[in-house]
């Protein structure tokens, strides 16, 4: 079973507000997946929209966000694309 990382929920919510202009109201850790270096959360906003938040530890690899974006842009709607930040990252 995957364990919740030692990152305060308040810090994650602040990042979502600051970097993505989201207005999160709830965050829930989901102990699912096979990667011990990745934690996932369900984030609810005051606009009644739910988001899938993926928190990864370790070095950043650009293909982990570029490939899902490319596949989704090619019409594969089953792929959840990453959201760009205000700065376009």
Query: What's the pLDDT tens digit per position in 20-79?
Result: 999 999 999 999 988 888 999 999 999 999 999 999 998 989 998 999 999 999 999 999
Cβ density class 4-15: b for 16+ within 10 Å, e for less: eeeeeeeebbeb
Q: Which residue(s) pair with 52 in the sheet?
A: 42
Greater confidence (68 vs 1) lies with: 68
pTM of this structure: 0.86
Tell me, what's the pLDDT at 1?
57
Tell me, what's the pLDDT at 35?
87
């Amino acid at each position: 079973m995957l364990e919740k990382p030692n990152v305060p929920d308040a810090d994650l919510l602040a990042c979502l507000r600051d970097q993505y202009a989201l207005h999160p109201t709830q965050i829930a850790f989901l102990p699912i997946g096979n990667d011990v270096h990745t934690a996932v959360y369900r984030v609810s906003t005051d606009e009644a929209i739910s988001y899938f938040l993926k928190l990864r530890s370790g070095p950043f690899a650009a293909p982990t966000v570029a490939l899902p974006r490319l596949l989704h842009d090619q019409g594969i709607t089953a792929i959840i694309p990453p959201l760009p930040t205000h700065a376009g990252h």
